[in-house]
Amino acid sequence: MSQGPNFNSRSPFRYGRRGFFRRLFTPLFISGGIKLWSKRRPKGGRFSFPPLPKGKSRVVIARNPRVIAESGGVDTGILREMVWEGVRVALDKPTASDAWQSLFRPNDVVGIKVNCLGLSSHRELVDAIIAGLKSAGVEEERIIVWDKVNRDLMRGGFSINTGKKGVKCFGTTALRGGYEGELTILGSVGSCFSTILTKYASAQVSVPVLKDHDLAGVSISLKNFYGAIHNPNKYHDNNCDPYIAEVNTHPAIKKKVRLIICDALIVQYHGGPAYKAEGAWDYRGVLVSLDPVALDSVGAKIIGDKRQEMGLPSLAQVGRPPKHIATAGGMGLGVDKLEDIEIIRI
């Protein structure tokens, strides 16, 4: 991803939200004559997922001790193997390419929602996901790496790119009209959602980080989409419950999030969501699932088990149980009970 432009009078943002994206994707319309926001599924059940017993979900945990070198750098080849094999196993496909192609079409515009607050989604992990999308025929120009603000993305190691070439990368707040103009009411939540989520991307990959949270208990996949609303500061009472679950009832999240790949290379098991070395753990893994609730349930157990190993009180004992996970399960957003989750370790 190339370094982005300065936001001056020649910036594409001067055309406003619609003008910016029209200029961004017009070459694709001209060259391919395709419908950018097509919602029709191909014949033959392209998006049919592997059968599981009723009420069950699958979470894949991929770990490799060699993915982080002694120098602290990430081995990109090993990480890509972990991600691709995790996706293949999660979908029970013969090859990784088959798995990516079962989820994404060449005419999709795919948003990759990263989390760059505190411990950030690794850029190397996002690169592995981009390679997977490209194997499904999605061109780089149709991929948007995004979070709330440019500043956080750059702090996480991402380069802002609003040009016509390459993978796009920018924050919602960098766009004129980056949030919906009207509040969406979801239970007790009233928020304006990012237009990258609601209007411009036809599919999403959620890339949360496995970390402890000082109010919600954990911040994983479900809470990742607090980065898609304009006022997350309003929804932290009562351990963020039921607000996190309610945000995830938004139709754009329920319908567009096709894959969750959780960054667990380094896990913040205590002191989060900010990065604190004394509470960080080189877990050297990724979690892959199609079910955000199941993934969060497994992730919360990983954090809980590590806290117990380190002699720390449980999240419930310190007054911040991650109860939003069960709330989300009760709302039908996924499976929250561990006994109903098929956990595969590779």
d(CA 207, CA 126): 8
d(CA 78, CA 299): 22
State pLDDT tens for residues 251-262. 999 999 999 999
Structure tokens at 85: 């094999």
Query: Residue 95 class from Cβ within 10 Å (0-12 exposed, 13-18 middle, 19+ buried)?
Result: exposed
Q: Poorest-confidence range of 48-52, 164-168, 271-275?
A: 48-52
Structure tokens at 34: 């395709």
Q: Residue 169: what are its φ and ψ, rounded to 5°?
A: -155, 115
Query: Residue 305 class from Cβ within 10 Å (0-12 exposed, 13-18 middle, 19+ buried)?
Result: exposed
Secondary structure letter of residue 186 according to DSSP: E
Is residue 33 over pLDDT 50? no
336, 230, 145, 323 alpha-carbon torsion, rounded to 10°: -10
Exposure string of 269-289, with b = 16+ CB inside 10 Å and e = fewer, is bbbbbebeeebbbebbbbbbb
d(CA 244, CA 236): 9
pLDDT at 323: 98
Is residue 6 over pLDDT 50? no
State pLDDT tens for residues 102-152. 999 999 999 999 999 989 999 999 999 999 999 999 999 999 999 999 999
Are β-strands 203-207 and 143-147 bridged in parallel, bridged antiparallel, or unpaired? unpaired
| Paired strand residues for 143 | 110
Task: Indicate the average pLDDT of the chain.
Answer: 88
d(CA 211, CA 315): 12
Domains of the chain in start order, with CATH, are 63-345 (3.40.50.11440)
